[in-house]
Structure 1
């Protein structure tokens, strides 16, 4: 009976895979290969979401997720964490699933897992955001990155074409005023890689259509997506790097994050090295090492009060960018 209930719950709560098709979303189609890549990523995300919904435990979810091919496995873990955060956030659904997953099989995939929690944030009513489990004070900002990606992906007209930006954002409760909006922009930048169908020229054109003060964060997200997801040849990466202009260091920072996320989860694939060589001028291993070397000393302590202080997460990003300047 429990298995039947989990299957039914998954069937009800899992979005249809057709929602990830580029024509349904109205996204740019660069070529059949790019389309196939992005739609496979979307389908894998939803499979991970459904697997987590149906699995009786974190260990059972891991068994299913680890069967996904290396290139796409991180997206499955992202979807799985969204699914668990949704279950934790729904009234009457119980609590603790996300916490168990992050402490166990989701730990090596923590970057993608926190992004997945951001997807759940975008789907849950705000009064349920208190159920979201994101304990790491440094990486918790990735939840807002995931929120921004979701909004760019599912509300493209408003967040991308109309360049909408919230006036303020109520999560997290403590932290610098205005900074959540910047991290949401980083997620929107990642989303542009999908909205623009991995077309580097179109991505750069779209970023340059935003106000200047938002472009650095957008390029940071673009660098992460181009490195982690791939879908372009070297000449396209070079062109994107050149188009980034003064924002090249932060493009490299995003690329280093993408390399670190894949290495930490043991999901290295060739296109990651191509991207870090173009954006960072080095190997994925060295780019990830820069991330480790530039960790701020106060990374374990969240900023107190909404007083405009720069959070440790932003200090970290800027230090990494400076290394690649």
Structure 2
């Protein structure tokens, strides 16, 4: 009976594989390689979701997730994060399975799993949303990133072309202003997919948004361009050039991607290339900067609702550190 319920939840809440094709989404096709890449990312995400909701145990889910090729394994863990969060929220279990996974096998993939929680929240009614109090107070802003990606990817006209912005994203309470920015970081990540990894299209989309939103959008794009790939060195250099004053934010997103890849032992050549171009340094050095500038427990304990969260302080430190290295100039 339990397996039947898990299968039903998958069928109701999971996008069908055809929903992730570029043709179905109406996204441009830059070339055959970019199309295959982006669609494989979507397939891997959905495979990870299925592994999470259909497996009889977390150990079984992990075993299946580890069979995914390295380039796409992180996306599978992102999907698993969504799947586990959906199961938890529908059972009112306060993310019990998700937190258990994060404390064990999922720890190396924590960035992606947090993003997956945001996908789940985008699919669930608000009364089922989990409490933010049981999550890492620093990484919980990646939940908003996942939410923003989902909305831009599946509701592209409203969130991208009409540039809709959440008026009051009151999760967690007291940080509504910054929550909208964190959602924008996910929208920026989605724009790499919406634009088909075509730098001309992606930057045109970003530059069509109000100026105040562009730094966060460029940060998300830098993360996606580095983590997912899809652009050769010449196009990455053009992306950095077009970012202009937002090059430090672009680099910060790229550094986050490098850290997520290295933490999970999933570094691929395209990650290294993107870090070299967008961060002006190696993926390892960019990842190390993320760890070295990470806020302390004391800083996290001192943050107050209504103030800028220390997550944003962290992001600014990374951008400033990359600038200090001499590789990134505004």
TM-score by length of 2: 0.93
Other structure's SS at 1:130 match: coil
1: CA distance between counterparts of 2:171 and 2:131?
12
1:220-231 equivalent positions in 2, closer than 5 A: 220-231=219-230
The CA deviation at 1:296 is 2.3
The CA deviation at 1:5 is 4.5
The CA deviation at 1:88 is 1.0
Residues 272 and 284, structure 1, Cα contact 8 Å, conserved in 2: yes
1:64-213 equivalent positions in 2, closer than 5 A: 64-91=64-91, 96-130=96-130, 135-175=135-175, 177-213=176-212
The runs of 5 or more residues in structure 2 that have no matched partner are 324-330
2: CA distance between counterparts of 1:183 and 1:128?
21
2: CA distance between counterparts of 1:21 and 1:115?
21
2: CA distance between counterparts of 1:94 and 1:295?
26
> Are residues 94 and 290 of structure 1, via their aligned partners in 2, closer, same or farther at CA, if it must alter by over 3 Å?
closer
1: CA distance between counterparts of 2:104 and 2:258?
22
Other structure's SS at 1:173 match: coil
2: CA distance between counterparts of 1:178 and 1:8?
37
The CA deviation at 1:8 is 4.5
2: CA distance between counterparts of 1:246 and 1:94?
41
Output one character per residue of 1:266-306: Cα deviation in whole Å (capped at 9) or x when no partner.
00100011001101111110000111111123454262232
* Larger CA deviation: 8-17 vs 261-270: 8-17
Match of residue 328 from structure 2 = none
Segments ≥4 residues shifted beyond 6 Å: none
Output one character per residue of 1:64-116: Cα deviation in whole Å (capped at 9) or x when no partner.
00000000000000001101101111157896211111111111001100000
> Are residues 211 and 313 of structure 1, via their aligned partners in 2, closer, same or farther at CA, if it must alter by over 3 Å?
same
1: CA distance between counterparts of 2:57 and 2:102?
12
CA RMSD of superposed structures (Å)? 1.7
Residues 137 and 302, structure 1, Cα contact 8 Å, conserved in 2: no
Residues 276 and 283, structure 1, Cα contact 8 Å, conserved in 2: yes
Residues 302 and 312, structure 1, Cα contact 8 Å, conserved in 2: no
Other structure's SS at 1:296 match: coil
TM-score by length of 1: 0.95
> Are residues 234 and 200 of structure 1, via their aligned partners in 2, closer, same or farther at CA, if it must alter by over 3 Å?
same
The CA deviation at 1:32 is 0.9
Match of residue 312 from structure 2 = 314
Residues 151 and 159, structure 2, Cα contact 8 Å, conserved in 1: yes
Match of residue 252 from structure 2 = 253
* Larger CA deviation: 53-62 vs 127-136: 127-136
Residues 88 and 132, structure 1, Cα contact 8 Å, conserved in 2: no
2: CA distance between counterparts of 1:102 and 1:124?
21
2: CA distance between counterparts of 1:151 and 1:77?
19
2: CA distance between counterparts of 1:73 and 1:299?
33
1: CA distance between counterparts of 2:254 and 2:218?
10
2: CA distance between counterparts of 1:265 and 1:249?
24
The runs of 5 or more residues in structure 1 that have no matched partner are none
1:58-69 equivalent positions in 2, closer than 5 A: 58-69=58-69
